Amino acid sequence: MTIGGSSYDDGWWTPSTGSLFPSTHGEGGGGADTPSLFAPVDGEGASLGRNRPVLGRAGWRATDLSRFPRLGWAIVTCMDSRVDTTELFGGIGHGDAHVIRNAGGVVTDDTVRSLAISQRLGRTSSIFLVHHTDCALTTITDREFADQLARETGSRPAWNAEAFTDGDWAVRRSMEKVEASPFIPRKHAIRGFVYDVTSGDLREVRRRPVAHAPRGR
């Protein structure tokens, strides 16, 4: 399969050009000016390394920035204070990308809402889903958390905490949710990662069918 001049395997999208995503001409991102970030990923567990100063921009002014992210990227990640989005992918600068954060960086209905708005009103086309090691959501279960809230408040939440025990599984689950949503039109460039909060490394996660939820769900 070929998209935007790059060859992809039907089961695992890896650009043959070495650029992270194919260009998105006319959609607010990509193109000839977008730097090539990483070499093609050879397989599970490939490390993308830490800070590579290819995206950061010094001397920016608010008047220079557009509401359309320069790179055409939308990044979904956790609210954990150890995840520094300015260091992800070589350094995301002001005006480069939309960043959507929540507990766990999981894809919820509100995440879909934000991505739908990002693509339609922000002209983004590439989606990064970034989970991380030592996530607080791995220390609870949905049932236990809901039971605790019910005991403390007298009301049971209508939502799940979206707890998980396996970070790679959680990334794949998030990718599946994005791909399944009818409200997110651009699905050709969805990639998932796990950020190591100790080393600062990013590891790309292969797309595989999501099996039954691991223990705790």
Closest listed residue to residue 5, CA positions, set 29, 31, 26, 35: 31
Number of domains the chain is built from: 1
Angle at 177 between CA 142 and CA 7, to 5 degrees: 140
* 151 belongs to a structural domain: yes
* CATH assignment at residue 190: 3.40.1050.10
For 99-138, what is each residue's pLDDT tens digit? 999 999 999 999 999 999 999 999 999 999 999 999 999 9
* 150 belongs to a structural domain: yes
Structural domain including 162 reads 45-56+66-205
Pairing outcome for strands 6-7 and 73-78: unpaired
Q: Look at residue 59 in the predicted model and tell me its pLDDT.
A: 54
Is pLDDT of 97 > 70? yes
CB 172 within 8 A of CB 109: no
* 6 belongs to a structural domain: no
The model carries a pTM of 0.71
DSSP labels, 28-89: TB-STTSPP--PPP-STT-B--S--TTS--SS--GGG--SS-TT-EEEEEE--TT--TTTGG
Identify the weakest region by mean pLDDT among 31-45, 124-138, 192-206: 31-45
Of 119 and 67, more confident: 119
Length, in residues, of the chain: 217
* 171 belongs to a structural domain: yes
